[in-house]
A = this chain, B = another copy of it.
């Protein structure tokens, strides 16, 4: 088994404004993202040799995508992997380039979510009649919050304040990002007094519902310098799907997610990262709920088990902190158009590594950035971790 490290590079990216895009259907969003990426890379659609598109339910194959993107008679593959859908489309695109089958490809993700909400997306019926009906995500992650508080003996009021600080941080970052859905500060008091969604998670502990798309142009690493000097290298790609069926599986403890740990282990190994806290310069992670981001700090090795709350108090993960997390505003401000989020995250890492993140640019010159997704349901989550770096 070989690593993906330094074998493929990103030479262009695009990302739509996320939000209530009543003005655009899924095709319009894809065109908007793809054309920004084409332009950023300085390529034309006819240069693209193959494409991967991630979407959970906004379209199926054969509905005119090739014509809209001006991709004529090339392979286009749809990937779906729950909340990691876009990242997995990106991953498969990278492997095909690393195999030498293609020199330059397009990977993108899209979801049109406002029309219907996540529950209105087509959800294939389960493969087995034995599968329990899905628990709504806020309820799944509420279990993590109550368990985290119990396990570490943290009074719930205290945990809620910690979670509120995560929401405040991400909302602040979102104010600096014109592509975010929500660009508004919130205060700890607002978060704590917000309507309850699934106790102890209130409205501002949950990410929004948005429309959006994002796109990346990927090439063989040795080609990248022909397109631009500040290309971004793929350093590691980890993905893991859990094999424990059922929400209440015995060995599922809800204070960590083994899929994250395994995905991170693969990505760190590929990237040669030994000490993530020191080596990762920024991370865009799957803050579907504030408790998810808290647990992620620990799952991804940014801090020790149980140390997440103290790090939040210390401001470690703020824009000015030691390891900025969700510098773009995260799912909190972008919402989570499911098939789009993974590549939207990569877009932020790409811009930060290029020093082009504008008012959100982190202070140190970043060398390595990380993206993360967690999707599906407890017991059979998909965890995905991707690591990107500047050319040396």
Contact = CB atoms under 8 A, between A and B. Distances in A.
A220 to B, nearest CB: 10
A211 to B, nearest CB: 12
Given A127-B59, A127-B64, A243 B72 contact: yes
B75 A78 contact: no
Instruction: With a 10 A CB-CB cut-off, give which of A79, A103, A123, A243 has the most chain B CB atoms.
Output: A243
Contact of A259 (B4, B67, B73): B73
B30 A127 contact: yes
Interface string A122-138: 11111111110000000
A262 B57 CA distance: 28
Interface stretch (A20-28, A298-306, A341-349): A20-28
A22 B121 CA distance: 27
Interface of A: 1-4, 7, 25-28, 30, 49, 55-68, 70-82, 88, 91-92, 95-96, 98-103, 110, 112, 121-131, 239-246, 258-259, 262, 375-377, 379-382
Given A27-B128, A101-B95, A62 B82 contact: yes
Contact of A62 (B74, B75, B96, B241): B241
Contacts of A56: 60
Given A64-B127, A95-B99, A127-B25, A75 B380 contact: no
B78 A80 contact: yes
A60 B124 contact: yes
A128 B241 contact: no
Instruction: With a 10 A CB-CB cut-off, give which of A27, A75, A259 has the most chain B CB atoms.
Output: A75
A49 B1 contact: yes
A148 B127 CA distance: 40
How many monomers of this chain does the complex have? 2
Contact of A58 (B63, B110, B127): B127
A61 B126 contact: no
Contact of A73 (B72, B122, B242): B242
Instruction: With a 10 A CB-CB cut-off, give which of A55, A95, A131, A259 has the most chain B CB atoms.
Output: A95
Contacts of A240: 73-75
Instruction: With a 10 A CB-CB cut-off, give which of A61, A102, A381 has the most chain B CB atoms.
Output: A61
A121 to B, nearest CB: 8
B127 A62 contact: no
A77 B79 contact: yes
A101 B3 CA distance: 6
B73 A376 contact: no
B96 A375 contact: no
29 contacts: A3-B101, A4-B99, A27-B130, A28-B128, A59-B126, A60-B80, A60-B123, A61-B82, A62-B82, A62-B241, A62-B380, A62-B381, A62-B382, A63-B380, A64-B126, A64-B130, A67-B379, A67-B380, A73-B243, A74-B240, A75-B239, A77-B92, A78-B79, A95-B96, A95-B99, A99-B99, A99-B100, A112-B127, A122-B125
